[in-house]
Structure 1
Amino acid sequence: MPRGPPARGRYPGRVSDFPNEPPRQRLRVLAAMSGGVDSAVAAARAAEAGHDVTGVHLALSANPQSFRTGARGCCTVEDSRDAARAADVIGIPFYVWDLAERFREDVVDDFVAEYAAGRTPNPCLRCNEKIKFAALLDKALALGFDAVCTGHYAAVVTGPDGRRELHRSGDAAKDQSYVLGVLDERQLAHAMFPLGDTPATKDEIRAEAERRGLAVARKPDSHDICFIADGDTQGFLAKRLGAQEGPIVDESGAVVGTHTGAYGFTVGQRKGLRLGVPAADGKPRYVLDISPVRNTVTVGPAEALEVTALTAIRPRWCGTPPQGPAAYTAQLRAHGEDVPVTAELADGTLSVEFAEPVRGVAPGQAVVLYDGTRVVGSATIATTDRATASVRRTA
């Protein structure tokens, strides 16, 4: 199914600044400003549309100096100052809200616990679910705001039935609908994504920021995990979980190497294995399975990674849940490709079958379902079925 940009006239409904309201109605909007160019332009667009906008920067670290400096993260002192300067140029009030404790509990601690259990989490999804559209949105509504505005690349469409729908961004390279697939209908009803209202590339957003006089126009994008200062995930986990030496084995059970913590690996990983025994065929080997109970990492050939089906738990729907079995496309990682699937929901568990085998699917990841460009919802992968083995892999 196509990933084309959402645009006015493409859907039965309309792309709007806010659901079920005349586009020109003045709303009280809380703009989450990270200190980057996207959130600054989003806040500026909301203000230009005539809304009563207040900017807020989320302080997510009790010690922001320990987080990244420069532009690599989104939780630095520099970011807070950049957000404040952007708000001043836009001409809106600006505040800093301390959500460090909530962020640590709901995102950082969850991240560590998931890896310790042999799963591969996505902290950006958890942050959107628990922080930006739970803690922040709840506080905003309690203070009388109508919506939370962010700089995500996604589009909100009001369908013919008046319900809100989440769609892909116009810029496929920057589309962030995958990490927003955790939003439910209530949260979508108070979400505003001005960058998704009209298709635009990142270069066009930067050019717009320059025209608006925003100093963040050329600020590099943040990347990697914001709370891991040097980008070393394995080192970050080791400091919190300690060294736990164990074997790396092949599919026959033969020991081919050692590790200092099974939590430092993820299914599909190739680099950093440091195997002492080469494969008989000389081909690269990949992580096939992680057992935290046995503290064992299993490696094997690339073809052994092929997955034909999965089950997923804790589903969250952006609208009506799947009525199935039915055909959809699925995305398995933030910048992954769409793959055709058949999905069915039964007793709170989502079953997904792939039209063709896919590789590198790990428990803990999110599977996000799409109907064309519309986000149906997401769930957390619990188990996978491999094409070359009868054993079901589970964390």
Structure 2
Amino acid sequence: MSKQKVVVGMSGGVDSSVTAWLLKEQGYEVIGLFMKNWEDDDDGEYCSTRQDWIDVVSVADLIGIDLEAVNFAAEYKDRVFAEFLREYSAGRTPNPDVLCNAEIKFKAFLDHALALGAQTIATGHYARVRETPAGRFELLKALDHTKDQSYFLHRLNQAQLSKTLFPLGEMPKTQVREIAAQIGLPNAKKKDSTGICFIGERPFREFLNRYLPTQPGPMKTPDGKLVGEHMGLAFYTFGQRKGIGLGGSKEGSGEPWFAAAKDIPSNTLYVVQGHDHPWLLSHTLSAGNPSWIAGEPPAEGLSCSAKTRYRQADAACTVSAVTNGGAHFGLRFSDAQWAVTPGQSAVLYDGEVCLGGGIIETAAEAAPALRAPQQAALLTPRR
């Protein structure tokens, strides 16, 4: 009987390397696939493609698996990076890793793996897949909640989950490092990547400035007082503290400044003082462009929890205003959420089960009366 063939997405990191080794130990026929998805200015200073490829080759040789390289740069630029730039141009803050997983790692990569004759694919993500007695597939949080990546995977559908393995979802990251050291992986101590998906760790403003026209504009307080000039609205996200340029300002209370709102038509950035300023707190949000793992939206009135950014504890909420056949939905939180940011993902959970989510469009502030007259134009509606 022939072994089941699985294609493992290998990045050169320790997680995907241990994933490949685990599956080979479990009796799979493993093929490693290295994806090159970024070619612009790939000079090695910030983009580590060359070193990553060397690490992947070394790992594949050590554990004894076949290896293939594939170039998805055109797909990445068309499906992920173009949307990334469109969102920033509209004043929102997108999450490229969410789109990258949905469009590249679990679409272009999955299609390529199936063409190679594989039955399944696997990645080094920290998450779990469970098949229910009814034959549905659920996306679950990883057992190691400090590393759980289900937030980034919430746009996967039934077809994708049915063909995906996440071997690391059952173990803590410390155990993955231990396995890597025990079997002598050359990248056992390689640090985790924290850069933009496939683009690497580079100065973000400098990088974005090469692709988007930027226009400096006024920086104002909620009462309309001019306190400085911003470098371009695309460079700021709600809740941002560093890089505003008001750290030494003697204006106001002396508390730290935070970016809190953008008025696109007037090219104005509104800033507030104090971490818990009302403009940074929201009890409700609306979201669009949803993706539901079960294939249908949750019922209106459902009590669940949600994350409005990756590094955040689950927050109790209620699903409201499911409209247009589920194309839009609202969330009402028990406790005010901090710096809810248009463009980021609101991801819903029922305990350990990830239900899916959508792209945040607007958030209602705890004290909307404090808003400037330009409230209606603060953000252009998402297409």
The 1:64/1:214 distance shift into structure 2, 3 A limit, reads farther
Quote the residue 2:301 is aligned against.
325
Amino acid corresponding to residue 194 of structure 1 in structure 2: P
**C-alpha deviation, 1:230, in angstroms:** 5.0
Q: In the alignment, is residue 264 of structure 1 matched against residue 235 of structure 2?
A: yes
**C-alpha deviation, 1:151, in angstroms:** 0.3
Structure 2 unaligned runs (5+)? 370-374
Aligned residues between the structures: 366
The 1:25/1:322 distance shift into structure 2, 3 A limit, reads farther
**C-alpha deviation, 1:291, in angstroms:** 2.7
**C-alpha deviation, 1:34, in angstroms:** 0.3
Q: Distance in 2 between matches of 1:65 and 1:248?
A: 35
Quote the residue 1:291 is aligned against.
263
Q: In the alignment, is residue 365 of structure 1 matched against residue 355 of structure 2?
A: no
Which of 141, 146, 158 matches 2:119? Answer: 146
Retained in 2: the 8 A contact 1:31–1:53?
Answer: yes
Which of 328, 331, 336 matches 2:312? Answer: 336
Quote the residue 1:57 is aligned against.
34
Q: Distance in 2 between matches of 1:142 and 1:308?
A: 47
Quote the residue 1:109 is aligned against.
82
Retained in 2: the 8 A contact 1:257–1:277?
Answer: no
Which of 62, 84, 90 matches 1:89? Answer: 62
Which of 262, 278, 281 matches 1:306? Answer: 281
Quote the residue 1:17 is aligned against.
none
Retained in 1: the 8 A contact 2:233–2:269?
Answer: yes
Quote the residue 2:328 is aligned against.
349
**C-alpha deviation, 1:25, in angstroms:** 9.1
Question: Could you say what secondary structure the match of 1:125 adopts?
Answer: helix
Which of 158, 178, 203 matches 1:207? Answer: 178
The 1:266/1:67 distance shift into structure 2, 3 A limit, reads farther
**C-alpha deviation, 1:226, in angstroms:** 4.5
**C-alpha deviation, 1:387, in angstroms:** 0.5
Amino acid corresponding to residue 346 of structure 2 in structure 1: V
Retained in 2: the 8 A contact 1:263–1:292?
Answer: no
Retained in 1: the 8 A contact 2:100–2:197?
Answer: no
Q: Distance in 1 between matches of 2:132 and 2:200?
A: 42
Match runs of 1:370-385 below 5 Å = 370-385=349-364
Q: Distance in 1 between matches of 2:347 and 2:45?
A: 30
Q: Distance in 2 between matches of 1:266 and 1:183?
A: 26
Q: Distance in 2 between matches of 1:226 and 1:186?
A: 23
Which of 30, 34, 43 matches 2:7? Answer: 30
Question: Could you say what secondary structure the match of 1:77 adopts?
Answer: helix
Question: Could you say what secondary structure the match of 2:76 adopts?
Answer: helix
Which of 132, 140, 162 matches 1:159? Answer: 132
Match runs of 1:10-25 below 5 Å = none
Amino acid corresponding to residue 163 of structure 2 in structure 1: H
Quote the residue 2:161 is aligned against.
188
Retained in 2: the 8 A contact 1:68–1:229?
Answer: no
The 1:149/1:305 distance shift into structure 2, 3 A limit, reads same
Quote the residue 1:221 is aligned against.
192
Amino acid corresponding to residue 357 of structure 2 in structure 1: S
Tell me the C-alpha RMSD between the 2 structures.
2.0
Q: Distance in 2 between matches of 1:217 and 1:368?
A: 32
Q: In the alignment, is residue 133 of structure 1 matched against residue 133 of structure 2?
A: no
**C-alpha deviation, 1:61, in angstroms:** 1.9
Q: Distance in 2 between matches of 1:378 and 1:143?
A: 32
Q: Distance in 2 between matches of 1:113 and 1:293?
A: 16
Q: Distance in 1 between matches of 2:252 and 2:68?
A: 60
Amino acid corresponding to residue 46 of structure 1 in structure 2: L
Q: Distance in 1 between matches of 2:79 and 2:255?
A: 40
**C-alpha deviation, 1:377, in angstroms:** 0.3
Which of 126, 135, 145 matches 1:172? Answer: 145
Q: Distance in 1 between matches of 2:243 and 2:256?
A: 12
Amino acid corresponding to residue 294 of structure 1 in structure 2: S
Match runs of 1:66-81 below 5 Å = 66-68=43-45, 75-81=48-54
Retained in 2: the 8 A contact 1:119–1:363?
Answer: yes
Retained in 1: the 8 A contact 2:90–2:379?
Answer: no
Retained in 1: the 8 A contact 2:129–2:165?
Answer: yes
Quote the residue 2:372 is aligned against.
none
Q: Distance in 1 between matches of 2:215 and 2:189?
A: 43
Give the TM-score, by structure 1 length.
Answer: 0.88
**C-alpha deviation, 1:191, in angstroms:** 1.0
Which of 245, 251, 263 matches 1:279? Answer: 251
Which moved further from structure 2: 342-351 or 360-369? Answer: 342-351
The 1:67/1:326 distance shift into structure 2, 3 A limit, reads farther
Percentage of identical aligned residues: 37
Q: Distance in 2 between matches of 1:297 and 1:362?
A: 14
Name the structure, 1 or 2, with higher relative contact order (CA <8 Å, separation 6+): 1
Q: Distance in 1 between matches of 2:110 and 2:185?
A: 26
Which moved further from structure 2: 256-265 or 319-328? Answer: 319-328
